[in-house]
């Protein structure tokens, strides 16, 4: 965990430019954007969350999305199966719209085949097709969630390892250098970030 002040200080050294500001204004917005991109690209354990606040209602297909649970990547959606000792069973995304339209018209099922996210007005929702057959069964969502917004100089990142904060510094450095037109120096900083992240996660992850 490092504060925005720490990141700002390190950035001045890495970029050889103490005038670059990420502690406020558009610089802070860019820092948050780079942070979200890194969290999305890699399976960080510190951003893996489960939410079990939703319960099924018989024959109801749409549910309000859990408040303050903002996923960047949904890993798994499950529901308890009353016909199998309330074991959790996976619900998948539909392969296409035609499949969804076919399945949503089917009779309610103990375990729905598919889910999708939607919005009604300003309300975020999760829908199931077909609708759950039983009331009171827990719906469990596992996801990589959005990191908390860094809002001021005292805000801290949530990384467990300092090497991750180092990678964030090199990533934001590369972003700023690219904006300034120093592509070669930007690429060097981004390669440093990639090296650190590859050491944490291996070479399977997406480029930062």
- % of the chain with per-residue pLDDT over 90: 86
Confidence class of residue 207 from pLDDT cuts 50, 70 and 90? low
With a cut of 60, say whether residue 100 has pLDDT above it: yes
Confidence class of residue 116 from pLDDT cuts 50, 70 and 90? very high
Phi and psi for 53 in degrees, rounded to 5?
A: -85, -15
Interacting residues of 53 by C-beta distance below 8 A, sequence separation 6+: 66, 69
Confidence class of residue 205 from pLDDT cuts 50, 70 and 90? low
With a cut of 90, say whether residue 180 has pLDDT above it: no
Q: Give pLDDT tens digits for 128-173.
A: 999 999 999 999 999 999 999 999 999 999 999 999 999 999 999 9
**Partners of residue 81 on adjacent β-strands:** 87
Interacting residues of 107 by C-beta distance below 8 A, sequence separation 6+: 130
With a cut of 80, say whether residue 39 has pLDDT above it: yes
Confidence class of residue 21 from pLDDT cuts 50, 70 and 90? confident
- % of the chain with per-residue pLDDT over 70: 96
Element (H, E) at 72: strand 71-81
Q: pTM of the prediction?
A: 0.84
pLDDT at 25: 94
pLDDT at 101: 96
Mean of the per-residue pLDDT values of the chain: 93
Strands 71-81 and 138-145, how do they pair? antiparallel
Element (H, E) at 186: helix 183-201
Confidence class of residue 108 from pLDDT cuts 50, 70 and 90? very high
DSSP state of 132: B
Cα three-residue angle 193-194-198, rounded to 5 degrees: 120
């Amino acid at each position: 965990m490092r504060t925005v002040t720490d990141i700002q200080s390190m950035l001045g050294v890495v970029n050889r430019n103490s005038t670059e500001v990420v502690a406020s204004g558009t610089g802070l917005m860019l820092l948050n954007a780079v942070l979200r991109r890194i969290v999305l690209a890699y399976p960080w354990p510190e951003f893996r969350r489960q939410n079990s606040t939703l319960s099924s209602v018989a024959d109801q297909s749409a549910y309000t999305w859990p408040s303050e649970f903002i996923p960047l990547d949904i890993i798994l959606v499950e529901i308890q199966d009353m016909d199998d000792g309330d074991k959790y069973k996976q619900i998948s995304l539909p392969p296409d719209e035609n499949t969804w339209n076919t399945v949503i018209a089917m009779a309610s099922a103990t375990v729905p085949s598919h889910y999708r996210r939607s919005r009604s007005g300003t309300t975020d929702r999760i829908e199931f097709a077909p609708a759950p057959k039983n009331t009171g069964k827990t719906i469990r969502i596992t996801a990589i969630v959005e990191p908390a917004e860094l809002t001021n100089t005292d805000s801290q990142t949530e990384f467990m390892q300092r090497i991750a904060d180092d990678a964030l510094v090199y990533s934001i450095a590369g972003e700023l250098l690219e904006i300034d037109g120093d592509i070669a120096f930007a690429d060097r900083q981004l390669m440093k970030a990639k090296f650190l992240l590859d050491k944490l996660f291996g070479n399977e992850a997406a480029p930062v």
